[in-house]
Amino acid sequence: MSKPIVAVVGRPNVGKSTFFNMLVGQRVSIVEDTPGVTRDRIYAEAEWNGKSFGLIDTGGIEPSSKDIILSQMREQAQIAMDMADVIVFMVDGREGLTAADEEVAQMLRRTGKKVILLVNKIDNPSKIPDSFYDFYTLGIGEPIPISSSNKLNVGDVLDEIVNSFPDDAGMDEEDRIGVAVIGKPNVGKSSLINALIQDNRVIVSPIAGTTRDSVDTPFTWNGDKYNLIDTAGIRRKSKVYDYVEKYSVIRAIAAVERADVCIVMMNAKDGVTEQDKKIAGLAHEAGKGIVLVVNKWDLIEKETNTMRDFVRTVESELQFCSYAPIIFTSVTEKLRLNDVMAMAHAVAQNRAQRVPTGQLNSLIADAVMMKPTPSDKGKHLKIYYGAQVGVKPPLFMFQINSRKLVHFSYNRYLENRIRETFGFEGTSIKFIFREKREKDQ
């Protein structure tokens, strides 16, 4: 099930990131930081009035010269058009209407999508400058005066956003396993999909130009129906390297949101880069299944322990998704391509696996006997019982005596015991700890 996407676009320094961070700081965000995940803070899962959505900040782009402002603005607007269900277009109320604002507004008008125009930096609602009314000429609806720094009209803006979601937003897509192929530019994403298609030759129909800036390919493998989501198109010739990397992450977000399993592709010649960590972190934080695919393995000079050493490097750099299997491939040499699909299928099944409550509690009792629970000032953590309360990803609830006694290391211990017994390769496992009321203890 995919959430509606809201993209915030606008010129540099109009207040996009302040708006984004303010929403997150207001506890609109329902995201949890995960230790060991390094990525740009450009995406948050948010909720308002019971409606969940993904919020994307396209801010933080500082052009090296004024000559490329318009080109970067067009790129921002294009991404918003491709990905978003609702577009928040932010302008600067102090500076007034600019040529860049007019050009982007013209692009946004042609999308047919809901565009919400925010005029930021209106700190005093009783003293709206005359330049505010120039924004009516953009022809994209009623301008809303806001102040991100003073939180003026933020609630009204959020109401407008969630009321603008399409009626079918968040509905399940066709009953297929969604497999997104994500990764930085030039790692072989499109080549992998093309190779899989040619090998199986059971394509239903390729669907290009979908609402999430991806190319979907429904096909069948070993009798099971899949939807391959290709994030091709993130490659862009530019001298601004950080800018390209930023947008490769943004485009990956959309594919991750729609997937059950993410094939995170890396280039064997590059090793594990910071961008690889960011993209894998997106899939991990979203609770998706993960298969790590190291491509171009044929270009690596081999010695006795080359693969073993590379595995250790991956495990060290991507500790936060240590549960993810690693497959070494060469798309051009068609090396282990079927292994990739077989593992994606297995991971999808693992995400949907349910553990019987009786077996889970027997495991917990054995685990506690083998390793006593943490204690503080003589008081031990008590786990009264556990139950699996969700799937995709697997979600376990434990009723306990005190959350203060729950320690990260013991969480990891319980997770390892569950994985040893029930598998769950390729999928994260989420825990919820609930305190039992004193009168019930």
Phi and psi dihedrals of 308, rounded to 5?
Answer: -60, -45
Cβ-Cβ contacts under 8 Å for 273 (sequence gap 6 or more): 184, 266
Q: Give the integer Cα–Cα distance in Å for 80 and 78.
A: 5
pLDDT, residue 399, reads: 95
Q: How far is CA 78 from CA 67, 162, 196, 401, in A?
A: 19, 22, 29, 51
**Coil, strand, or helix at residue 145?**
strand
Q: Give the integer Cα–Cα distance in Å for 251 and 241.
A: 16
pLDDT, residue 160, reads: 92
Cis peptide before 325 (omega within 30 of 0): no
Predicted TM-score of the model (pTM): 0.66
pLDDT, residue 387, reads: 96
E strands along 1-82, which residues? 5-10, 43-48, 51-57
Q: Where are the alpha helices (DSSP H) in 88-240?
A: 99-109, 154-163, 189-200
DSSP state, residue 335: B
The helix/strand count (H/E) of the chain reads as: 11, 17
Side-chain half-sphere of 24: how many Cα atoms within 13 Å? 18
pLDDT, residue 411, reads: 92
Cβ-Cβ contacts under 8 Å for 117 (sequence gap 6 or more): 89, 91, 135, 138, 140, 141, 142, 143, 144
**Coil, strand, or helix at residue 355?**
coil
Sign of CA dihedral 396, 402, 404, 405: negative
Each of the 441 residues of the chain gets a pLDDT tens digit; together they read 467 888 888 877 788 878 887 776 543 322 333 333 323 346 677 788 888 887 887 653 333 445 455 565 566 556 666 778 899 999 999 889 988 888 888 888 888 889 999 999 988 877 888 889 999 999 888 999 998 878 888 888 999 999 988 765 544 445 789 999 998 878 888 888 888 877 443 333 344 333 234 567 788 888 888 888 877 533 333 433 444 455 555 666 767 877 899 999 999 999 999 888 988 988 998 899 999 999 999 999 988 899 999 999 999 999 999 999 999 999 989 899 999 999 999 999 999 999 999 999 999 999 999 999 999 888 999 999 999 999 999 999 999 999 899 998 999 999 999 999 999 999 999 999 999 764 444
Q: The domain 357-440: what is its CATH number?
A: 3.30.300.20
Q: Give the integer Cα–Cα distance in Å for 160 and 18.
A: 19
Q: With DSSP H G I counted as helix, E B as strand and the rest as coil, what are the percentages for the chain, rounded to 5?
A: 40, 25, 40
Q: Would you list the domain boundaries of the chain?
A: 5-163, 177-351, 357-440
Tokens of 372: 């006593």
Q: How far is CA 172 from CA 4, 214, 284, 349, 390, in A?
A: 12, 17, 21, 18, 17
User: Would you mind telling me the total number of residues written for the chain in this entry?
Assistant: 441
Estimate to the nearest angstrom the gap between the alpha carbon of 22 and the chain centroid.
Answer: 20
> Counting beta carbons within 10 angstroms of the beta carbon of residue 308, is it exposed (0 to 12), middle (13 to 18) or buried (19 or more)?
exposed
Q: The domain 5-163: what is its CATH number?
A: 3.40.50.300
Most distant CA pair in the chain, distance: 74
Tell me, yes or no, if the two domains 5-163 and 177-351 fold the same way.
yes
Q: Give the integer Cα–Cα distance in Å for 80 and 73.
A: 11
Q: What is the DSSP string of 70-127?
A: HHHHHHHHHHHHHH-SEEEEEEETTT---HHHHHHHHHHHTT-SEEEEEEE----TTS
Q: Which CATH architecture has domain 177-351?
A: 3-Layer(aba) Sandwich (3.40)
Identify which of 403, 402, 399, 391 has the alpha carbon closest to the alpha carbon of residue 429.
391
Q: How far is CA 390 from CA 301, 353, 385, 396, 430, in A?
A: 45, 9, 16, 7, 9
Cβ-Cβ contacts under 8 Å for 110 (sequence gap 6 or more): none
